[in-house]
Structure 1
Amino acid sequence: MNPTHPTQPSLVFIHGFLDGADVWDDLVRHLGDQTTGALRVDLSGMGARAGEPGPYSLERFAADVATQVRALSRPVVLVGHSMGSQIAELVAQRLDEQVRGLVLLTPVPLRGAGLPDDAMRPFRALGSNPAAQRELRRNLSVTLDGAQLERLGQLGDRVDAAAVGTFVDLWNNGHPSGAEASRYRDPVLIVRGGGDAFVTAEVISSGVTPRFEAPTVTSIEHAGHWPHVEQPEALARIVGAFLANLGAASHLAGMPVAPQGWTRAFEHKSADAFADTFDPNVTLEASVLAKPVVGREQVKTVMAAASKIYEAISFTHEARHELRDYLEWKVQAFGGEQMRGITVLTKNAQGKIIHVAIHHRPLGGALKFSAELARVLQGQVDTSFFYRGA
């Protein structure tokens, strides 16, 4: 396909364990025109394709979905739920530039859930027990009413009982590529249900967000493992905003921030890497500091510590005027919390940074970050430089 095709990305929906394409009906209705040309996939062995025989694997699912997406011949945004999020990641890796965005909904980590055999036994038994399947869905949801629960249950009833255990092992064991950073570098939105007892905030912060460059992470209250069924209107607003941001940023495609000493220092996260960019008399001012930090040794110590608090950082825009560089960025810290900001670097005639001004937002995140810096740098930098709480 032509990656510069002007068409708005089409949504591709990939359902999860024991579900089918019909599970997206309510979300599609609330998204309205944004789902024009959308593709709702039925995975082999589930949904309308429940009669298709194995062998089943995440690779087989990903290859099948990738073939369907290639046939669309236009850019797409992949939306994967639970086990479907594992497949969406694999498809994104295969299709590269055709995938403009990735939405992971209550995602099982690509490396797998890694649950022990005792915990997996009830899941493997669901295929021969429709009542247990419905009870599991009830326990992992917050607001499913009787009709919604039965609709989901009927999707699961279609699945061959012998295949259920195979599907369980697939999402629990995961894929080998989940053990390393994702090769997918474009925007990622991660959404969990606030009441989901299965894909918890800890599961996401430890197994999903670290693999991506500054993903957007959000939670929907009064929803469990199926936010697209429990709170489709709220999810539609979140996905709609994500799509709007993709459109607003599309004109910047192909214009990444040029690598330089400052951005490379964040990659290395070492004091020496920052020191290489600084003039001996450099001054650091920031919204997370109570007063300026002066001198290369102190500034490099603060910056190295700050870079290690960030779980992920992405430099998104750059501008330059004479001896000043302006860098816009977004970061993730504290288990998936998002912050954004702008850094202004002023250089001397020798090209060394003489002044750094860093502006974080929002205020709550900046104050939390300042307090964490104080904790990390205790004994190295005087606490009077940082926010000390009420």
Structure 2
Amino acid sequence: MTRDFVHTDPAGTSGGEALPQAPTLLLVHGFLDDATVWDGFVEALKGAVATVRVDLPGSGTRASRAEDTEKLSLALFADEVASVVDDIEGPVVVVGQSMGSQVAELAAAARPGRVAGLVLLTPVPLGGTRLPEEAVVPFRALGGNAEAQRAVRTQLSPALDKEALDALGCSGLLVAPPVVARYVDIWNSGVEAAPEQSAYSGPVLIVRGDSDGFVTGELVSAAIAPRFSGARLATVAGGGHWLHVEHPHALAREVLDFLQNLHAGDAASGWRSGFSEQSASTFAEGFAEDVVLEASVLVRPIAGRTLVASVMAAASAIYESLEFTAEASDATTTYLQWKATAFGGVQISGITILEKNAEGDVARAAIHHRPLGAALRFSATLRDQLVGIVPSDHFYAGDPQPAPCA
């Protein structure tokens, strides 16, 4: 990555030891900040993982450039961050703070096959805070006003010391007043008609500080956490809105623990990506060589990476819609609950069980479909689509009769 707004910190620096198979953290700052706001957090990671930081348009290294403020938007920011994801080798966990959490979610949803996890730090709702006009006027006026910026940071993050406030003040004053005002409108308005369920279905960690008067526990529980299935919640005692500056070591512990537990969910992430991309190669990446597939749509199991990946790619193309509604994991097994439609709106639901071997690859997958009529039609359709690839005696021998809606 040669773009001057992208800053990279390789794993194994700071005298620390890199975590094996750890994804790269892509750090997205919030309102009035830039990439330097993550300095303490990166140092607290002690080189355990690689990090990549970005300056959003109008901030940090990009603050002195002439910006068309009317073109600044969450969509623009998310497109930029998603393009940075494309440039990173291997899996990525996107971390966004405050306004950056809105950007991070959109970027993660745009790259589901590449983003292994999402960390929302003191997040504002994707649909915006929707504060009334009289409440946002003071925020719009913060541009170029060092005293006012300092007062806001002190109010929302009581544990910030003088050194931290000075450093944050330098970043905030770089942002031109028109850009500051535009940023306020962006995070306050958010995404119009934001979906009740996030488009990103991977693992999510939400972290807030219990002294943050802006992102309260009530806001997280009512407007943020319910949008993510099985989101992990963490609260740092004494932490405020700039938690990564106040308590970088506590945040680093939460994030590293999240990353270590991600490996247990890698199977689910790759499985979801395979369905999203309808790709045999994507499915195959997560399979053991001798993987075995069992399913209610199969008369007998199918074994071997190539055959199983071919079946899964064909199956993913049959669905007209597919939503994973719940997930649970332990060290070796992941359970996924899902609902789908196929065959012109026929409703299908079920549970998938993924069992991993010692190397973390899926060694056995068991898929349970319901209702029976839909399962039989699904089996016959797979049989016809996989002629010459998978022996037909693995599938239902009858005709693919229409199945009644469930």
Fold match (TM-score > 0.5): yes
- After superposition, the C-alpha distances for 1:39-62 in whole angstroms (9 at most, x for unaligned) are 101101011111231221111111
Instruction: Measure how far apart 1:214 and its partner are.
Output: 1.2
8 Å Cα contact 1:104/1:189 also seen in 2: yes
2:104 equivalent to 1:80 = no
Taking a change above 3 Å as real, the CA distance of residues 133 and 252 of structure 1, as seen in their structure-2 partners, is: closer
Instruction: Tell me what 1:9 maps to.
Output: 23
Taking a change above 3 Å as real, the CA distance of residues 8 and 326 of structure 1, as seen in their structure-2 partners, is: closer
2:278 equivalent to 1:236 = no
Matched residue SS, 1:13: strand
Taking a change above 3 Å as real, the CA distance of residues 162 and 222 of structure 1, as seen in their structure-2 partners, is: same
Structure 1 runs (4+) greater than 4 angstroms displaced: 251-256, 325-328
- After superposition, the C-alpha distances for 1:287-338 in whole angstroms (9 at most, x for unaligned) are xxxxxxxxxxxxxxxxxxxxxxxxx85344359xxxxx9989xxxxxxxxxx
Instruction: Tell me what 1:117 maps to.
Output: 133
Instruction: Measure how far apart 1:66 and its partner are.
Output: 1.0
- After superposition, the C-alpha distances for 1:124-146 in whole angstroms (9 at most, x for unaligned) are 11014211011110111021000
Instruction: Measure how far apart 1:73 and its partner are.
Output: 3.3
Instruction: Measure how far apart 1:67 and its partner are.
Output: 1.0
Instruction: Tell me what 2:376 maps to.
Output: none
The one of 42, 45, 68 equivalent to 2:58 is: 45
8 Å Cα contact 1:80/1:87 also seen in 2: yes
Aligned Cα root-mean-square deviation (Å): 2.3
Instruction: Measure how far apart 1:97 and its partner are.
Output: 1.2
Taking a change above 3 Å as real, the CA distance of residues 8 and 169 of structure 1, as seen in their structure-2 partners, is: same
Matched residue SS, 2:46: helix
Identity score, percent: 46
The one of 16, 25, 35 equivalent to 2:39 is: 25
Taking a change above 3 Å as real, the CA distance of residues 15 and 255 of structure 1, as seen in their structure-2 partners, is: closer
Matched residue SS, 1:214: coil
Which segments of 5 or more consecutive residues in structure 2 lack a partner in the other structure?
Answer: 1-19, 273-324, 337-350, 355-406
Instruction: Tell me what 2:218 maps to.
Output: 202
8 Å Cα contact 1:66/1:94 also seen in 2: yes
Matched residue SS, 2:235: strand
Instruction: Measure how far apart 1:253 and its partner are.
Output: 4.9
Taking a change above 3 Å as real, the CA distance of residues 242 and 196 of structure 1, as seen in their structure-2 partners, is: same
Matched residue SS, 2:141: helix
Instruction: Measure how far apart 1:35 and its partner are.
Output: 3.0
Matches within 5 A, 1:1-390: 8-36=22-50, 38-52=51-65, 53-54=67-68, 55-176=71-192, 178-251=194-267, 253-254=269-270, 313-316=326-329, 317-318=334-335
Instruction: Measure how far apart 1:81 and its partner are.
Output: 0.2
Q: Distance in 2 between matches of 1:244 and 1:63?
A: 28
Q: Distance in 1 between matches of 2:47 and 2:159?
A: 26
Matched residue SS, 1:209: helix
8 Å Cα contact 2:113/2:270 also seen in 1: no
Instruction: Measure how far apart 1:7 and its partner are.
Output: 5.1
If the length of structure 2 is used for normalisation, what is the TM-score? 0.61
- After superposition, the C-alpha distances for 1:80-119 in whole angstroms (9 at most, x for unaligned) are 0000000000001111110000000000100000100111
Q: Distance in 1 between matches of 2:153 and 2:271?
A: 45
Greater helix fraction, Structure 1 or Structure 2: 1
Instruction: Measure how far apart 1:249 and its partner are.
Output: 3.2
If the length of structure 1 is used for normalisation, what is the TM-score? 0.64
Instruction: Tell me what 1:384 maps to.
Output: none
Matched residue SS, 2:207: strand
8 Å Cα contact 1:110/1:177 also seen in 2: no
Q: Which amino acid aligns with 1:240?
A: L
Q: Distance in 1 between matches of 2:132 and 2:104?
A: 25
Instruction: Measure how far apart 1:179 and its partner are.
Output: 3.7
